[in-house]
Chains A and B, each alone.
Chain A
Amino acid sequence: MSDHHDHDAPLPDTVLRVKALESLLVEKGLVDPEALDVLIDTYETKVGPRNGARVVARAWVDDDYRQRLRDDATAAIAEFGFKGRQSEHMVVLENTPEQHNMVVCTLCSCYPWAVLGLPPVWYKAAPYRAKAVMDPRGVLEEFGVALDDDVEVRVWDSTAEIRYLVLPRRPEGTEGMSEEALADLVTRDSMIGVGLAKSPGGS
């Protein structure tokens, strides 16, 4: 597991401690074991980046929707039923030929759960959190993204409860594609701002 190669492997202590806490909490009636299963299932299987991809695809084909995202992103995203925890205050950041946006939470791991699911390990780990605000072009290079020098790269540090979704640029050669097919081109990384949307029929 790549997230552990810079860390000591979790001690058996960690596994034991989680088991101990869970068993004590259940015993004392403070947590419902079935509620734990619902929580895990929700974020492991039901909520994920496909949600955000649908929002982006809709914005690409529907200018009125794009304007609603600008006016009140929380409400516009909620039109899909995507709302709630860690997405109560949404702002959409549109990438343009002049400006590329990248989102980070240097202080912890704030991330728009309702549209992207839980964040990947690299987003929550120290290297990205340290580098994104100081050398975002270096971050893009690590992710294999090359931007022209005259494109402004703007980094957004999620220091409050505002949650940011990047609206990547619509790739060339996608005219006439259905919303569903367009959503297939929208990668999770493009909605964080460390990637671009995929081109049709290729990468």
Chain B
Amino acid sequence: MNGAHDLGGMHGLGPIDPETDEPVFHEEWERRCFAITLATGFLGQWNIDMSRYARERMHPGEYLRTSYYEHWLHGLQTLLVEKGMLTEDEIAARMAELAGEQDS
């Protein structure tokens, strides 16, 4: 699809800006996102081409505004819901629960 991911030749994105001695993961949530993406992939409910397509379907504005593992998170939730492994309602409910626990 002609999504924002198809970046070859785009202008105006700024410098490449490599980080010196960059760590493999910058945040704990990135570690967890990486791990649950691979672990759920092992269940054989989707293939790597489906997982790429799920990430590509992010709204182009959102894709360009967000970071790499945020793309993975979007793709993972898309796949889990489409394959009927989780529902959006139960994800939202669990998020609300966890947010409540954080605040209390």
Contacts and interface: CB of A to CB of B under 8 A. Distances in A.
Interface of A: 1-8, 10, 12-25, 28, 30-32, 35-37, 39-40, 43-44, 106-109, 117-118, 120-122, 124-131, 133-134, 139, 142-143, 157
Contacts, number: 158
B34 A134 contact: no
Contacts of A18: 29, 32-33, 36, 73
B24 A43 contact: yes
B65 A36 contact: no
Interface residues of B, number: 50
Interface of B: 5-11, 13-19, 22, 24-27, 29, 31-36, 38-40, 43, 52, 55, 64-68, 70, 73, 76-77, 80, 85-86, 90-91, 94-95, 98-99
Highest count of chain A CB atoms <10 Å: which of B19, B36, B99: B36
Given A10-B67, A23-B94, A108-B52, 5 more contacts: A7-B66, A13-B95, A19-B29, A36-B32, A127-B16
B98 A142 contact: no
Contacts of B91: 17, 20-21, 24
B24 A14 contact: no
B27 A10 contact: yes
Contact of A30 (B10, B34, B43): B43
Nearest to B25: A44
A28 B77 CA distance: 15
Contacts of A124: 68
